[in-house]
Amino acid sequence: MIGIKLSWRYFLHRRISILAVISVALCVFIVVVVMSVMNGLVNEFKEKNHRFVGDCVIRASSLTGFPYAADFVQQLEKQSFIYAVSETVQGVGLMTRPGSSWNVGIDYVGLDPVKHSRATHFAETLGYNADHPERAFQPSYAPEMDGCILGVDLILYRRPDTGQYDSPGRPWLDRRTISSFPLNPKGGLARAGLDMVSTKTFYYSDHSHSGLVKPDGRTIYLPLEQARILSGMDTPVVRSSTLHIRFAAGVSVTDGVRQVQQLWQAYVQSCKGKPYAEMLDDVRVLTWQQDRREFIGPMEKEQLMLTFLFLMLGIVTVFIIFVVFYMIIGHKTRDLGLIKSLGMPASRVAAIFLGFAAIVGLIGTAIGMTAGCLFLWKINAMENWLYDHYGWRVWDRAIYAIDQIPNAIEWPVLVCVAAAAVAACLLGASVPSIQAARQSPVRALQVSQI
Amino acid sequence: MGHILQAKGIHKSYTMGKQTLTVLRGVEMTLSAGDFAVIVGASGSGKSTLLHILGALDKPDKGTIEFEGQRLDQMSNGRLNQFRNQNVGFVFQFYHLLDELSVLENVLLPAMIAAGPIGWLKCKKNVQNKAISLLERMGLKDRLPHKPYELSGGERQRAAIARALINDPRLLLADEPTGNLDSKTGHGILEVLNELNQQGQTILMVTHDDRIARQAGCVIKLSDGKIVS
């Protein structure tokens, strides 16, 4: 009882306690805000990637693709652990407007929009046909023409201030000519001479906004068979570039991919002897994380580096608390001598100052948490105010594919940060407290009498 | 009355760098219940060191100390803490009251240490009444909620005496209790101590002032670490 009383009274009467509380509060505030925003950005980015490719991807490592995909798709669709499968054909090409000298390099992806929407969240990215993906390749102004779905940044203007796109609400007449070099199964040009380039003109029928920079800025989606012809994957054997798989509800990605791998290995064995079966050896079965590693990896590394930096910040906090308590206990030599002369055990003497440190930690954490949560709650409003008054935005919406700064508060993160802050205070105060407990009462009383 | 304190062959030295300073050289003394004894000596004669050893605040290098049959020189630090809390009351020259606690809380301090967190909840009311009674005896009835820095020197020393008495110690040790007070106030403190002794409290006091020493029942003269009379 006396220990708690003294801890509290020391806290109230030492102005240096304010310094310690402020340092803890600042550290907690910074960690809460930055980790919440960073975690939000990383999680949002990961989720977008997951929704873009589905749970599992079977991918050829070469632009030439792999054969006999349709049979394997039929086999997969019979499995109870699989919800949907979608086949795509992918290639690189040039895009221009008929009659224009403007030219840009693009990636094209041929797919069936209905099947692809079942295997991934493709339909949700569509601008005009989210509820009816079967119409995605039918331009509303000319339904009989071959439509194309453009990455949103290839067709719409994005406002730099709000990050919103200016969309008239329906597609307009806009033709895009795609040129590509069809490849044979051996990786060479499928045709020679003037015929070596495949070209076709498509009509803008919809756009796709996935929230990912490369697809939105560089990808055009075409009807599957049209893309197959453009890429040369229609002869001499029908080929595909990827299969996208969504697992049934309750099936984990790890388990699902393991089962698909087993099926694929068996299928490859069963195709031995068929023409071009050796192309199946270059095909990999991947989880969505593995497939998107080149995009997710750098962000996860940044997140790890940030966590390491916060660890350094925690160590600095520990040192600040250590110095503060060293000073406090230095001023309390007389009190320590008296308390020990009255018979207080060493452990209870140490507990007084550890209790003091816990109070500093708890109050500093409470202030930091409250300020952090309030800041996160209003972060987008504050950024908008800064933009409206000073034209300044933290994240340029034209560069970063976000509509607003993520500000979701994750309670497990808060609990961990709070526990770490209090632990840092106890750790920082531990050495001075133990030294205080070990001090000789006679020496302490004599020093104070000098 | 029987002896409550017996010290035999007490030696104490301090090492300062390469030098060793011997403060006590084979001190022997006894104290009986109800005694009012004073240790006198020049500055540096070892008076306070002897007081600290007899009060179990420090341990001798050699020798034995018996307090009502218990060997203090053989006790662990934990047992010594407990012994000191329950059997010895200290009054210091500079009062040593905690500024963060009120006068009443300062007096309650030894009792709170003795009771522990849970025991204190059971005995709090009784001990508080006792503390208030002690402070009334010391003439500090109106100063209960005040902080020590709001009191005069004499009031602080009387509060310190009340604190020393809260656990009904067998022995009251006073280290130069009037050393920081003017003569009139110091005289008042001595009167308090005399009154306590007349009520049966055993007191051992240290002073360098022979005039104060003459008022005690027993004078122990210390010189160069030895008792000379």
Q: Hey, what domains does chain B have and what are their CATH numbers? A: 3-227 (3.40.50.300)
Of B86, B100, B117, the CB nearest to A9: B100
Under a CB-based contact definition with an 8 Å cutoff, are residues B58 and A412 in contact? no
DSSP character string of A336-393: HHHHHHTT--HHHHHHHHHHHHHHHHHHHHHHHHHHHHHHHHTHHHHHHHHHHHH---
Phi, psi of A317 (to 5 degrees): -60, -45
For residue A194, pLDDT beyond 70: no
Distance from the Cα of A443 to chain B's closest Cα (Å) equals: 10
Distance from the Cα of A360 to chain B's closest Cα (Å) equals: 17
Under a CB-based contact definition with an 8 Å cutoff, are residues A186 and A240 in contact? no
Of A2, A442, A448, the CB nearest to B58: A442
For residue B1, pLDDT beyond 60: no
CA diameter of chain B: 54
The chain B residue lying nearest A445, using CA atoms, is B96
Under a CB-based contact definition with an 8 Å cutoff, are residues A425 and A24 in contact? yes
Pairing of strands B19-32, A66-67: unpaired
**Averaged confidence pLDDT in chain A:** 90
In chain B, the N- to C-terminal Cα span, in Å, equals 22
For residue A401, pLDDT beyond 70: no
Give how far the C-alpha of residue B52 lies from the chain's centroid of Cα atoms, to the nearest Å.
9
Beta bridge pairs of residue B219 = B38
The chain B residue lying nearest A4, using CA atoms, is B117
Rg value, chain B, Cα: 18
Q: Which residues of B touch A13 (CB under 8 A)?
A: 99-100
The pLDDT of residue A378: 93
The chain A residue lying nearest B121, using CA atoms, is A1
CA–CA separation, A434 and A415 (whole Å): 28
Please give the structure tokens belonging to residue A377: 């709650």
With CB atoms and an 8 Å threshold, state whether A342 touches B82: no
With CB atoms and an 8 Å threshold, state whether B101 touches A9: yes
With CB atoms and an 8 Å threshold, state whether A343 touches B86: yes
The label of the residue with tokens 């003459």 reads B214
CA distances from A168 to A144, A155, A297 (A): 22, 12, 37
Under a CB-based contact definition with an 8 Å cutoff, are residues B37 and B203 in contact? yes
Lowest mean pLDDT among A193-202, A377-386, B190-199: A193-202
CA–CA separation, A140 and A148 (whole Å): 12
Q: Highest mean pLDDT range out of A255-264, A376-385, A387-396, B85-94?
A: A255-264
Distance from the Cα of A46 to chain B's closest Cα (Å) equals: 52
**Mean pLDDT across the stretch A292-312?**
89
Of A2, A12, A341, the CB nearest to B90: A341
Q: What is the pLDDT of residues A72-83, one digit of tens each?
A: 999 999 999 999
For residue B213, pLDDT beyond 70: yes
Of B96, B105, B120, the CB nearest to A334: B96
The chain B residue lying nearest A11, using CA atoms, is B100
With CB atoms and an 8 Å threshold, state whether A1 touches B81: no
CA–CA separation, A426 and A287 (whole Å): 43
Q: Which residues of A touch B (CB under 8 A)?
A: 1-6, 9-10, 12-13, 334-335, 337-346, 348, 440-442, 445, 448-449
CA distances from B128 to B53, B112, B125, B140 (A): 31, 10, 5, 14
Of B81, B99, B105, the CB nearest to A344: B81
For residue B132, pLDDT beyond 90: yes
The chain A residue lying nearest B82, using CA atoms, is A343
Q: What is the pLDDT of residues B57-90, one digit of tens each?
A: 888 999 999 998 889 888 888 899 999 999 999 9
User: Which residue type sits at A367?
Assistant: I
Of A2, A10, A445, the CB nearest to B109: A2
Strand order in the sheet with B218-223: B88-91, B171-175, B202-207, B36-40, B218-223, B226-227
**What are the domain boundaries of chain A?**
2-46+296-448, 69-270
Per-residue confidence at A59, pLDDT binned at 50, 70, 90?
very high
Strands (E) located in chain B: 3-16, 19-32, 36-40, 62-67, 70-71, 88-91, 171-175, 202-207, 218-223, 226-227
With CB atoms and an 8 Å threshold, state whether B98 touches A338: yes
For residue A135, pLDDT beyond 90: yes
Distance from the Cα of A430 to chain B's closest Cα (Å) equals: 21
The pLDDT of residue A398: 61
The pLDDT of residue B18: 85
Q: Which of A349, A337, A347, A343 is nearest to B169 (CA)?
A: A343
Q: Please state the pTM of the whole predicted model.
A: 0.78
With CB atoms and an 8 Å threshold, state whether B121 touches A1: yes
**Mean pLDDT across the stretch B36-51?**
87
The pLDDT of residue A435: 87
Per-residue confidence at A158, pLDDT binned at 50, 70, 90?
confident
Element at A424 (helix H, strand E): helix A411-438
- Burial pattern A123-142, b for ≥16 Cβ within 10 A else e, equals bebbbbbeeebebbbbbeee
B23 DSSP 8-state letter:
E
With CB atoms and an 8 Å threshold, state whether B98 touches A340: no
The pLDDT of residue A361: 93
The label of the residue with tokens 């709170």 reads B112
DSSP character string of A316-344: HHHHHHHHHHHHHHHHTHHHHHHHHHTT-
Of B94, B113, B120, the CB nearest to A342: B113
Q: Which residues of A touch B119 (CB under 8 A)?
A: none
CA–CA separation, A299 and A286 (whole Å): 20
Per-residue confidence at A13, pLDDT binned at 50, 70, 90?
confident
Q: Which residues of A touch B78 (CB under 8 A)?
A: 345
Under a CB-based contact definition with an 8 Å cutoff, are residues A36 and A410 in contact? yes
The label of the residue with tokens 């030219």 reads A103
The pLDDT of residue B64: 92
Under a CB-based contact definition with an 8 Å cutoff, are residues A224 and A148 in contact? no
With CB atoms and an 8 Å threshold, state whether B84 touches A343: yes
Per-residue confidence at A109, pLDDT binned at 50, 70, 90?
very high
The pLDDT of residue A450: 43
Please give the structure tokens belonging to residue A247: 């697992």
Please give the structure tokens belonging to residue B26: 């084979």
Q: What is the pLDDT of residues B89-115, one digit of tens each?
A: 999 988 889 999 999 999 999 999 999
CA–CA separation, B161 and A365 (whole Å): 42
Under a CB-based contact definition with an 8 Å cutoff, are residues A110 and A226 in contact? yes
For residue B49, pLDDT beyond 50: yes
- Burial pattern A26-57, b for ≥16 Cβ within 10 A else e, equals bbbbebbbebbbbbbbbebbbebbbbbbbbbb
Under a CB-based contact definition with an 8 Å cutoff, are residues B50 and B39 in contact? yes
